[in-house]
Amino acid sequence: DGGITQSPKYLFRKEGQNVTLSCEQNLNHDAMYWYRQDPGQGLRLIYYSQIVNDFQKGDIAEGYSVSREKKESFPLTVTSAQKNPTAFYLCASSIAGMDNQPQHFGDGTRLSIL
């Protein structure tokens, strides 16, 4: 079955530590997205990528970094510069270049601070 796999499901970060969240898709989608979800705030876009080796900042990119070396993979690093990283992180993918195609979501990674 095609879909998006996020790992790990739960992640704990120590102060001053960088952590990387994995996102893999086998839907053959060009576009991939990372969102942060906090209670009562909906989803906020962190980074997105329309094609391999290219990505753009979303609305809350500070303290995060991404790479897009392969079409299937779009890992997100939460750096020590992100002072409030506790949240639910969602990865999504879609067909690029079209506004009428839905995004497909993974099951998320919940990040907490130790």
Among residues 28, 20, 10, 21, the alpha carbon closest in space to that of 93 is found at 28
Instruction: Give how many residues touch another protein by CB under 8 A.
Output: 29
Q: Which of residues 18-77 bind another protein (CB under 8 A)?
A: 31, 33, 40-43, 45, 48, 50, 56
Give the DSSP letter string of 43-97.
EEEEEEEEETTEEEE-SS-TTEEE--SBTTB--EEE-TT-S---EEEEEEEE-TT
Q: Least CB distance from residue 52 to another protein, whole Å?
A: 16
Quick one: 92 exposed, middle or buried, by C-beta within 10 A (0-12, 13-18, 19+)?
buried
Shortest CB 110 distance to another protein, Å:
8
Applying CB under 8 A, which of residues 66, 78, 87, 90 lies at the interface with another protein?
Answer: 90
Q: Give yes or no for residue 98 binding another protein (CB under 8 A).
A: yes
Q: Interface residues with another protein (CB under 8 A)?
A: 4, 6, 31, 33, 40-43, 45, 48, 50, 56, 90, 92, 94-108
